[in-house]
Amino acid sequence: MTSLKCLRFLRDQSESPDVVSYLASYLFKMQPGPLQLARNIAAALLRTTRRAITGQPVLVTDEVAAARRQVCQKGCQFYRPSDSRCAHPNCGCFLAGKLLSKWKLITEQCPLKKWPV
């Protein structure tokens, strides 16, 4: 059962909206599974490598990276400050890497299209 179907089922079965909102917040804080994370990382690595091989830039400017970071940390319901991860099902990235973070790569985008271009 998908998360959305599960929430709908619980909403229909429960008389307490507090239970549903608690479960919804819990489900939305879960990150994708290990296989999906591996796929996401492999796809990002491939996109970045293609740009690097062709001599195109792979990093955004510091200003763009800061703007992206601000969007994640201040205005996204999927951002988990406890471990600086995106819990969106199509992302799951660790966003506070010391060497390299997703928001620093020019090829990467927010799955919700929240980042400035």
The DSSP 8-state label assigned to residue 83 in this structure reads T
In tens, the pLDDT along 13-54 reads 666 666 656 655 655 556 778 888 888 889 999 999 999 999
Residue 66 CB neighbour total at 10 angstroms: 12
Q: Calculate the alpha carbon distances from 41 to 14, 98, 105 in Å.
A: 38, 16, 12
d(CA 97, CA 100): 5
Nearest-5° Cα angle at 5, 37 to 9: 140
For residues 94 and 91, what is the distance between their CA atoms, to the nearest angstrom?
9
Per-residue model confidence as pLDDT tens digits over 82-98? 888 888 888 888 877 76
What are 49-84's pLDDT values in tens digits?
999 999 999 999 999 998 998 998 888 888 888 888
CB 7 within 8 A of CB 27: yes
Please tell me the distance from the alpha carbon of residue 115 to that of residue 109, in angstroms, as a whole number: 7
Q: Where are the domains of the chain?
A: 1-30, 31-117
Detail the DSSP E strand segments found in 20-92.
Answer: 79-80, 85-86
